[in-house]
Amino acid sequence: MKKVRALVITGFGINCEEEMAAAYRLAGAEAQIAHLNGLYEDKTDLRNFDVLNFAGGFSFGDDLGSGKVLANKLMYKKKSAKGSFCDELREFVSGGGYVFGVCNGFQVLVKMGLLPDIGGSCAQEATLTVNDSASFEDRWCRLRVAKGVRTPFLKGIDMINLPVRHGEGKLIFADAEIRRRVEEGRLACMSYIGEDGEASMEFPHNPNGSEMSCAALSDKTGRIFAMMPHPEAYLSLYNNPAWPLIKRENPRISEDGEGLVIFKNIVRHVEAEKY
């Protein structure tokens, strides 16, 4: 059977590409890491891939706001062939492709207007800005997946523990109408939760102060999905600093990290859909 192919973008300060590629390989897919310039110079053909991935990092040093410079580059820089990469990306999605962003990748997709894309015009409808703590947050969080989410990345997941590491993770919607339509459309896919299992606005359970305690968004198709926590940073049980306690309490627990299921989900979905 033909393998699912994942493309992981790197360059300009992105620094989590190796972990993301490893996640896809552990999930049974082929993964290729490519510098963004290769796409602009037509050295890498997006049509050869099933999932396009924007990994975490500090693109362009986050100097003008996290992800903003990279978002502008993707939207407005013309390729050597006709059109922009943004045009190509839209064709990729309409042709059955999937797009996944993590942390800085989430910031980029939001600032490109691809998430939540309520109006369908890719106008920016939200932003990710400085954490309420005014500090870089590097901690583990508990998250709950909303019922009825559209994206296959989260299939079968109820609650998950993942690390966050960001300075600008506070999600703010442009206005109350956008927020209402995100909520009604179930596009807010994951919530930061407290010890009681309910969505929380309290620090440190919510590490950034995001509206609706929102940690992830999808578009209306479910094909574009992004999240602030890092699933690629929890591929093995031993990535968790509390693994000795977890293992002692449940000796037969899987040695897979909880984040790996997100990658397995999309690989299995694409296999069933295409191959």
CB atoms near residue 130 (< 10 Å): 16
What one-letter code names the amino acid at 244?
A: P
The position carrying tokens 């993707």 is: 74
User: Is 103 among the residues known to form the active site?
Assistant: yes
In sequence order, the 6+-apart residues with CB closer than 8 A to the CB of 153 are 98, 100, 218, 225, 262, 265, 266
3-class secondary structure, 105 = helix
Q: What is the pLDDT of residue 77?
A: 85
The CATH classification number of 5-274 equals: 3.40.50.880
Distance CA 250, CA 11 (A): 41
Structure tokens that stand for 128 in this block: 């990710």
Span 266-273, mean pLDDT? 97
Structure tokens that stand for 109 in this block: 């997709």
Q: What is the pLDDT of residue 42?
A: 82
> Which pLDDT tens digit goes with each residue over 95-137?
999 999 999 999 999 999 999 999 988 899 999 999 999 999 9
> Which pLDDT tens digit goes with each residue over 197-232?
999 999 999 999 999 999 999 999 999 999 999 999
| 8 A C-beta contact, residue 191 and residue 213 | yes
For the chain, helix, strand, coil in percent to 5 are 35, 25, 40
Annotated active-site residue in 19, 232, 258, 269: 232
pTM, 2 dp: 0.96
> Which pLDDT tens digit goes with each residue over 131-163?
999 999 999 999 999 999 999 999 999 999 999
Distance CA 191, CA 198 (A): 8
Q: What is the pLDDT of residue 73?
A: 92
User: Predicted confidence band at 82 (pLDDT cuts at 50, 70, 90)?
Assistant: low
Comparison of pLDDT for 111 and 82, the residue scoring more? 111
User: Is 269 among the residues known to form the active site?
Assistant: no
Annotated active-site residue in 16, 103, 189, 214: 103
User: Predicted confidence band at 40 (pLDDT cuts at 50, 70, 90)?
Assistant: confident
Mean of per-residue pLDDT scores for the chain: 95
The strand pairing partners of 78, in sequence order, are: 84
Annotated active-site residue in 166, 205, 230, 269: 230
Enclosing H/E stretch for 2: none
User: Is 86 among the residues known to form the active site?
Assistant: no
Structure tokens that stand for 95 in this block: 């042709």
Q: What is the pLDDT of residue 83?
A: 73
Q: What is the pLDDT of residue 81?
A: 62
Q: Is the predicted pLDDT of residue 55 greater than 80, yes or no?
A: yes
> Which pLDDT tens digit goes with each residue over 186-195?
999 999 999 9
* Alpha-carbon torsion (51, 56, 61, 67), positive or negative: positive
